[in-house]
């Protein structure tokens, strides 16, 4: 990534959006343990935060076992 990150915002569910030294945006969620995801622009950053939020609330399908 290189350069310093400048925090742009933090969403209510713990998603952090920052701008890197090259003018791009990166996104990190508090549960993603240090992994920053590079995105194209600010709207894409908020979309990635929504994806993190949906991942938390999405129920996994239950497999039916045939007896």
At 8 the three-state DSSP class reads strand
Question: What is the total count of domains within the chain?
Answer: 1
Encode the chain (67 residues) as per-residue pLDDT tens digits. Answer: 556 889 999 988 889 999 988 889 999 887 767 778 899 999 999 998 888 766 655 455 555 656 5
In a domain, 65, yes or no: no
In a domain, 67, yes or no: no
In a domain, 63, yes or no: no
Distance CA 14, CA 10 (A): 6
Copy the structure tokens of residue 24.
Answer: 């791009």
Distance CA 4, CA 15 (A): 18
In a domain, 1, yes or no: no
In a domain, 23, yes or no: yes
In a domain, 62, yes or no: no
In a domain, 64, yes or no: no
In a domain, 26, yes or no: yes
Domain that holds residue 10: 6-55
pTM attached to this predicted model: 0.69
């Amino acid at each position: 990534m290189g350069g310093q990150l400048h925090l742009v915002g933090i969403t209510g569910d713990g998603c952090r959006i920052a701008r890197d030294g090259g003018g791009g945006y990166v996104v990190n969620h508090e549960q993603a343990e240090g992994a920053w995801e590079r995105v194209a622009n600010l709207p894409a950053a908020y979309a990635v935060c929504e994806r993190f939020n949906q991942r938390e609330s999405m129920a996994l399908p239950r497999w039916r076992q045939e007896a």
